[in-house]
Amino acid sequence: MTVAPHRDEPPGEAAARPGAGGGAAPRGTAFPAAARRLRTKVLPAIIGNLAMTIIGVIFLLPLAWLILAAFNPHASPGVVTPRFSLANFTQALQSGASGAIMNSLYLAGVSTVIATVVSTLAGYVLSRHYVPLKGAALVVIIFLTGLPVTLLLIPIYQIFVSIGWLDSPFYTSLVLAATSVPFAIWLLKNFIDQVPREFEEAAAIEGSGQFRVLLTVVVPLIMPGVLVSAILTFINSWGAFLIPLVLDANPSDTPGAVGIYQFMSANGQVQFGPLAAYGILFSLPVIILYLISSRWLSGGFSFAGGIKG
Amino acid sequence: MATITLEGVSKAFKGKPAVDGVDLSIDDGQFLIIVGPSGCGKTTTLRMLAGFERPTSGVVRIGGRVMNDVPPKDRDLAMVFQNYALFPHMTVAKNLAFGMRVRRVDRKVIDREVASIASMLGIEALLGRKPAELSGGERQRVALGRALLRKPKAFLLDEPLSNLDAALRAQMRFELKRIHAQFPVTTVYVTHDQVEAMTMADRIALMEGGRLQQVAAPEVLYSEPANTFVAGFVGSPKINLIPGQVVRDARRPTIRSMSCDIPVDGTAGAVLASLPHDNVVIGLRPEELRPRRPATGGLPAVRGVIELIEPLGSETHVALRVGGHVLTCKCPPRAGLEVGSEISVEFDPEHMKVFDGDTGMRLG
């Protein structure tokens, strides 16, 4: 703390005492240290916090609306404190929310498993083996991560028509997996690149074949990467709207992201309450997924102790 | 247990030779150390034995079987890596059991073997820990234990002691030697440390520039180096290598070096006469140079000024400037020497090594 010396103290005495207060301030300037502190520390902090609060409120408002509207049987676009009621949830569930969420779980689960397995294998090969034109292949993969799905949807639809894959949740999840694979390959290849080869060599000389090395040594070491890739794939498939809408017209296969549109009728009437309740129900699995995996993710990515350094 | 042979083995990386025509045979149960400076090809040679690198040419045999196209997992070897390569996500016990689990050994047998090797290496208390919680020496023991449990045809060790501190290194040298006596399995050990090589090896293979320079027992390598490189690499402090000239008109074979005529007897002397040129290099080990007490008869001696004195306690190393050369001499402690003073050192020409000055090869 920097405090100016007491006024009733002779200035000479204060100056002679080293470390007493914030240096010998000449008589007459009132609390210069405090003024400086206000200017350099307090004011910027106030402005910064104010700005963050405003931004935070902007972000929180829609969320607040969602939660308040979900419990308000007479919900409207305005943010109002409701008379607490679960009627919206009942209505959302009665109009097929649970079935749609199960469909979404199926699509997201299957596509996540497929995409993660495929990307781990591809990432391992791209990281460790000689592949002709590997550099070009990696550039193409990066390019694919930026390719809009909309562009591919019509050709995919025609392919599905010709091989009879339409209206099948499994084949639809294959397409969902394919949209996530390029980024997942890129992510996992970079994780595998970080794993020192000595681990694999040690496992190989102990008698492990390639698959065993991958499963027992490489995958456990890149688990955080595998989880990140799986979560991203899951979220991508979970929120997918266009692909399941186009490829699977069977009403009983409707996933959550498509099903939510039943609360917005064609003539502009929106049932805000059930819509909000449905939105909350639909977000829950992803939130639970985050909570479960955060324990693993925070474990970090470390080879500590395995090799020197 | 197996013999290992390398027949004309070469390895080139992108056209650059790393190992060049190595012929080497290692007897069953032998402790062979490949030693050489960084980049001499010793680790590449070991990796070819392990199967991590495929020879560009030549044949690798283990137990008589050609191994060139056999993957590492089928070679039945165990390896200790320079950085240990313990699996960081497994406990010590799991690390030790890894190979046996791959081979689907019965769980009870695994538990018993792990316990016995752990007690032999004194790491029982560590079995439940992860590698990150171990010290360098403990990790080294676990890596060694994992290799021992493999019960391989041969052990490969890649600079296993280089990450340990000096005291621990000396202790592990002793232990490795003891373990090898207990389990006399063919062992190939790579190091750049000539002390490790000299103290542990049955035979040493000295490499430089991708080629084998000499393969011999440690004492032979020291007393009969094949060339100036071997002579300079083995021994501490380093051998003194001083250029000299053959004196052609002398009655007996003689070399003139440091303004001193040195008679050369034996086979080296006989070879000197037929040398097509006069350039030679003489090699004098520091312990063979003795400060001359007044009037020791007959031995050649040189006079020089003391430039540096390094007292080590048990002995003193003295750097002596003789003309344009600096000789290192190993002197007894408290010899009463002073920097700047002039002394004479004498040596017995019988222990002197003579090398061809053009090729560096030893004569005789």
Looking at residue A95, which CATH number applies to its domain?
Answer: 1.10.3720.10
Domain that holds residue A261: 90-297
What are B211's strand-pairing partners? B208
* Residues above pLDDT 70, as percent of chain B: 98
What is the DSSP track for A206-242? TT--HHHHIIIIIHHHTHHHHHHHHHHHHHHHHT--H
Picking from B209, B246, B276, the residue whose alpha carbon sits closest to that of residue B20 is B209
Check whether residue A162 and residue A221 sit in a common domain: yes
pLDDT digits (tens, 9 = 90+) for B161-191: 888 888 888 888 998 999 899 889 999 999 9
Measured between CA atoms, how close is A195 to chain B, in angstroms?
A: 11
For residues A215 and B136, give the distance between their C-alpha atoms in angstroms, rounded to a whole number: 27
For residues A185 and A191, give the distance between their C-alpha atoms in angstroms, rounded to a whole number: 10
Measured between CA atoms, how close is B29 to chain A, in angstroms?
A: 20
- Identify whether A14 is part of a domain: yes
Query: Which of B83, B96, B158, B165 to probe by mutation at the A interface, max A CB count within 10 Å?
Result: B83
Check whether residue A59 and residue A39 sit in a common domain: yes
Check whether residue A280 and residue A150 sit in a common domain: yes
Structure token digits, residue B71: 């993957």
pLDDT higher at B60 or A264: B60
For residue A8, the model assigns a pLDDT of: 46
What are B316's strand-pairing partners? B311, B331
- Identify whether A308 is part of a domain: no
Check whether residue A43 and residue A173 sit in a common domain: no
Report the residue from A201, A221, A309 with minimal CB separation from B89.
Answer: A221
Query: What's phi and psi for B174, nearest 5 deg?
Result: -60, -45
Check whether residue A111 and residue A143 sit in a common domain: yes
A308 contacts on B by Cβ (under 8 Å) = 82-84, 136, 163
B87 Cβ under 8 Å from any chain A Cβ: yes
Measured between CA atoms, how close is B174 to chain A, in angstroms?
A: 22
- Identify whether A305 is part of a domain: no
- Identify whether A304 is part of a domain: no
Degrees to nearest 5, angle at CA A23 with A20 and A27: 105
A126 and A138 in contact (C-beta within 8 Å)?
yes
Q: Which residue of A has its CA nearest to B50?
A: A205
Q: Which residue of B has its CA nearest to A307?
A: B83
For residue A150, the model assigns a pLDDT of: 85
B159 contacts on A by Cβ (under 8 Å) = none
Q: Which option is the CATH number for B4-233: 3.40.50.10140, 3.40.50.300, 3.40.50.2300, 1.10.630.10?
A: 3.40.50.300
B88 and A222 in contact (C-beta within 8 Å)?
no
Q: How many Å separate Cα B280 from the centre of its chain? A: 26
For residue A300, the model assigns a pLDDT of: 54
pLDDT band at residue B296 using 50, 70 and 90 as cut-offs = low
For residue A20, the model assigns a pLDDT of: 43
Q: What is the DSSP letter of B296?
A: -
B131 contacts on A by Cβ (under 8 Å) = 304-306
Which residue ranges make up each domain of chain B?
4-233, 240-356
CATH class of B240-356: mainly beta
Report the residue from A220, A304, A306 with minimal CB separation from B85.
Answer: A306
Chain-chain contact of B81 with A307 (C-beta, under 8 angstroms) = yes
What average pLDDT does range B129-142 have in this prediction?
91
Chain-chain contact of A308 with B163 (C-beta, under 8 angstroms) = yes
For residues B33 and B48, give the distance between their C-alpha atoms in angstroms, rounded to a whole number: 15
Measured between CA atoms, how close is B346 to chain A, in angstroms?
A: 48
Check whether residue A275 and residue A287 sit in a common domain: yes
ipTM: 0.84
Q: How many Å separate Cα B299 from the centre of its chain? A: 32
The A-side interface with B (CB below 8 A) comprises: 196, 198-199, 201-209, 212, 216-217, 220-221, 302-309
B77 Cβ under 8 Å from any chain A Cβ: yes
For residues A240 and B62, give the distance between their C-alpha atoms in angstroms, rounded to a whole number: 57
Check whether residue A105 and residue A42 sit in a common domain: no
Query: Which of B14, B44, B87 to probe by mutation at the A interface, max A CB count within 10 Å?
Result: B87
For residues A31 and B149, give the distance between their C-alpha atoms in angstroms, rounded to a whole number: 75
Chain-chain contact of A307 with B83 (C-beta, under 8 angstroms) = yes
Report the residue from A198, A208, A212 with minimal CB separation from B85.
Answer: A198
Q: Which residue of B has its CA nearest to A304?
A: B132
Report the residue from A198, A204, A220 with minimal CB separation from B73.
Answer: A204
What is the DSSP track for A86-126? -HHHHHHHHTTHHHHHHHHHHHHHHHHHHHHHHHHHHHHHH
pLDDT digits (tens, 9 = 90+) for B316-352: 999 999 988 999 999 888 777 888 888 888 888 888 8
Check whether residue A122 and residue A18 sit in a common domain: no
Measured between CA atoms, how close is A111 to chain B, in angstroms?
A: 28
B78 Cβ under 8 Å from any chain A Cβ: yes
For residue B118, the model assigns a pLDDT of: 92
Chain-chain contact of A306 with B131 (C-beta, under 8 angstroms) = yes
B71 and B51 in contact (C-beta within 8 Å)?
yes
- 10-residue stretch averages of pLDDT, chain A, 309 residues long: 44 44 51 82 91 94 89 80 83 84 94 97 94 92 87 93 94 94 94 93 92 93 91 92 91 88 77 88 88 71 55
For residue A304, the model assigns a pLDDT of: 56
Check whether residue A129 and residue A68 sit in a common domain: no
For residue A72, the model assigns a pLDDT of: 85
For A205-208, the CB contacts below 8 A with 24+ separation are A205/B50, A205/B51, A205/B72, A205/B73, A205/B75, A205/B77, A205/B78, A205/B79, A205/B156, A206/B73, A206/B78, A206/B98, A206/B99, A206/B102, A206/B146, A206/B150, A207/B73, A207/B74, A207/B99, A207/B102, A207/B103, A207/B150, A208/B73, A208/B102
- Identify whether A226 is part of a domain: yes
For residue B43, the model assigns a pLDDT of: 93
- Identify whether A41 is part of a domain: yes
- Identify whether A306 is part of a domain: no
The answer, yes or no, to whether residue B249 has pLDDT greater than 80, is no
* Amino acid letter, B322: V
pLDDT digits (tens, 9 = 90+) for B303-319: 889 999 999 888 999 99
